[in-house]
Amino acid sequence: MSRVVRFVLLLLGAFVFLFPFYYMLIGSLQTEPDSSVTGAFPSPGNLTGHNYVEINTAINLGRSLLNSGIFTGGVILCTMVFGVLAGYALARLQFRGRGAVFSLMLLVQVIPFQLLTIPLYVLIVRGYGLADSYPGMILPFAINSTAVFVFRQYFLQLPQELFDAARIDGAGELNTLLRVAVPLVKPALLTGVLLTFIGPWNEFLWPFLITKQQDLQPLAVSLSNYLTTVSARAANPFGAVLAGACVLAAPAVTLFLIFQRRFISSSLESGVKG
């Protein structure tokens, strides 16, 4: 296959992949709704930013973005800390019942979060009294079994000689983790951050249950309320819906574009003399 044919096929694939994002952005800027194929190529006179102004007026985008940042940032911080500690323990520490703990962790991954919503709600709201608060939204997502599994697999790939050398030099387990293991699994950390970011950033069910106060609701909850109530009365409901989707998708796309080059595993054996 010639280079020209490969280039054309890759260009076609990129177009098919990017067209929904382009259509979403163009649709959000239209003054008059046009859901047909020709709406993807509107005239300049039919473009406006009024749909975004309507959203900001209805839900206060700045406050909603701040709430989402606090909620998502707290989840990411907890997930990275507990995920690294648990993954390292399951990969490198020898203790009785390690296999059983790992099996239970895998079992947790097959249980849908929706099945745990009611008991978690009773525990968080009635047991701990954390309704209408950021901790009440963050705690159910503080430990992610998928992140623990990813970190465990990365730590297992590290050469044993690195840990033996650290212990011979007198390093404790925590010091070995921070100075030896973590610097060599940066791709896993970045992957974990992105995968963890997507979940809480788009989550609307749990924060909606925890708080009904608009000044505490993350962006996904505010947009969900806007799309189901206010957008129908907007001048361009179609554009309002697409504008809300653009606002919600923009941070995730930006994060991916920033870190996409770093999702390449470094040589895990580069620290071993051979």
Three-class DSSP category at 26: helix
Angle, alpha carbons 17-188-266 (nearest 5°)? 95
Q: E strands along the chain, which residues?
A: none
* CATH 1.10.540.10 describes domain 19-262: no
The angle that helices 98-109 and 145-157 make with each other, rounded to 10 degrees, is: 130
Tens of pLDDT along the chain (274 residues) come to 578 888 888 889 888 888 888 888 888 888 877 767 777 777 777 788 888 888 888 888 888 889 999 999 999 999 999 999 999 999 888 888 888 998 988 888 888 888 888 899 999 999 999 999 999 999 999 988 888 988 998 898 888 888 888 888 888 888 888 888 888 888 788 878 888 888 898 888 889 889 888 888 898 888 888 777 776 677 777 787 788 888 888 888 887 777 766 655 444 444 444 4
Terminus-to-terminus CA distance in the chain, angstroms?
Answer: 40
- The domain spans of the chain are 19-262
Residue-wise pLDDT for 201-235, tens only, equals: 888 888 988 988 888 889 888 888 877 777 667 77
Question: Do residues 143 and 82 lie in contact, with contact meaning Cβ atoms separated by under 8 Å?
Answer: yes
| Distance of alpha carbon 157 from the chain centroid | 25
